[in-house]
Amino acid sequence: MNILIFLFFLLKPFYLFKSGMPQMADILMIFIFLITFFKKIKITDKEKNLIVWNLLFVVYIFIVNGVWALILKGELELIKQSVYYLYNFLVLITIIALYENKGNKFLKVIFNSIFVSSLLQFIILLFKDSTEMRRYLYFNNPNQLGYFSLLSIAICLVINYKLDKKINVYPLIGINLILIVASLSRGAFIGAILMVITYIILSINKRNFLKIYFLVIIIFVILISIVYLELEIDTFKHYRYFKFRVFNLDYDDNLSYRGYDRFINHSNYLILGAGEGVYKRFNSKLLGEVHSVLVNILFSYGIIGFIMFLNIIYISIYKVKFKRFHPLIYVFIYNMVHNGIRHSMFWILLALLSIIEVKKNG
C-alpha cells in the first residue's frame, strides 16, 4: 500500500489528458480505495461526522445537477461535474481509513512521497526547455503547478504539526516556493508566503530562535539582492514579469471576468443553485466556471449547498488549534480567485485536519 500511495503523489503532477479528465494518479487512487474499502476499521465521531456531511453534500450535488440536466434536456456535463465530487469523497474516506489502519507511519509515507514528487518537479524544471514565461512542466497550465506546490506545503506542514515537528520541512518548502515562482501563480505565491511566515512565527522558541532568525535574514538578503540587481538582461525577465503579476492587482483581476457578475445577473439561483456546468446559459463576461471555490459553490448549489460545504470545513478544523489548521486559510486565499475544489490534494488536506488531534502512534 505504501508503494501505491508513493506512486499516487509521484504521478499527480503528470497530466496525460486534458483538464477535467481522470489522470494516471486518479485511476491509481480508485484502485487504492477499492483495496482499502474491504478493510475493517474504527473511526472517531469527528471522522464519522465529516464522512456523513460529505456524503450529504455529494448527494445534494447529484440532485441539483441531475435536475438541471433534465431541465436542459440531458446535458451530461452537469453529471460529470458531480462525479468529481464523488471521486474526492472517496479520496477523503481512503485517507481517513488508511490513517486509522496504519497510524502516524502513514503520515510519514505521505510526507516522503510529496517531498520526492516535489523534488522530481524541481529537477524537471531545471532541465526541461521552455520558451514560456510561466512554467507548468507536465501540468496543463501554470496555475495547476502553483496550486500543487501550495497544497504540498500545506499538507506537509499539517503532517509536521501532527508529528510534533519531528520532520525538517524547510527543504520541501524551499523547493515548492521555487516551483510556485516558476509558475508565476499570484494566488499560490501570496498564499504560500503568508503560510510560511505564519509557520515560522508560530515555530519560534528558545531552542530554534537563532536558526529561524538566520533563515529569515538569508531569505531577506536574497530578496533585497534580487531587487537591487534587477538588470536589463534575460535572467531577470522572469523576475520582472513575476513582480508585475504580484504587485499589479488590476492585472486580469476584474471580478466580472472571474464570474462574480452572475450574482447580479442571476440572483434567482442563490437559493437552490444553478447547477455546475453548461455555462453558456449565463449572462456573464466569463464563459467558463466561476474562479472561486466559495462563490462557485454558492452560485452552483445555492445557500443549502454552501452551508453544507462550510459545515464540512468546520468539522475538519473543529477543536484543532490555529497553529495547526492555518495552512487551510492560505489555501483558501488561492481559492478566492481560482476554483481548486476538484483537486484531490485539497480533500486530502481536509482529511488530515480531521485526524490531527487523534492519538495514534501506529
Q: Is 98 helix (H, G, I), strand (E, B) or coil?
A: helix
Residue 217 maps to a domain: no
What residues in the chain have per-residue pLDDT under 70? 206-259, 358-362
**Residues 299, 36: Cα–Cα separation, whole Å:** 35
Q: What is the pLDDT of residue 98?
A: 95
Residue 131 maps to a domain: yes
Q: At what angle do helices 186-203 and 209-228 cross, to 10 degrees?
A: 150
Residue 235 maps to a domain: no
Going from the C-alpha of 72 to that of each of 60, 191, 276, 278, 280, the distances in angstroms are 18, 38, 12, 9, 12
Q: What is the pLDDT of residue 286?
A: 73
Q: What is the pLDDT of residue 242?
A: 59
| Phi-psi map region of 278: left, alpha, beta (phi>0 left; psi -120 to 50 alpha) | left
Residue 114 maps to a domain: yes
**Residues 152, 169: Cα–Cα separation, whole Å:** 11
Q: What is the pLDDT of residue 60?
A: 98
Residue 187 maps to a domain: yes
Q: What is the pLDDT of residue 105?
A: 94
Amino acid at site 300: S
Instruction: Work out how many domains the chain is built from and give that number.
Output: 1
Tell me the residue range of the domain where 84 lies. Answer: 2-203+252-355
156: cell is 506537509
**Residues 198, 79: Cα–Cα separation, whole Å:** 40
Residue 360 maps to a domain: no
Buried b (16+ CB within 10 A) or exposed e, 50-67: bbebbeebbebbbebbee
- The CB density around residue 230, as the number of other CB atoms within 10 Å, is 13
Residue 222 maps to a domain: no
Residue 23 maps to a domain: yes
Q: What is the pLDDT of residue 234?
A: 45
Q: Is 1 helix (H, G, I), strand (E, B) or coil?
A: coil
**Residues 209, 207: Cα–Cα separation, whole Å:** 6
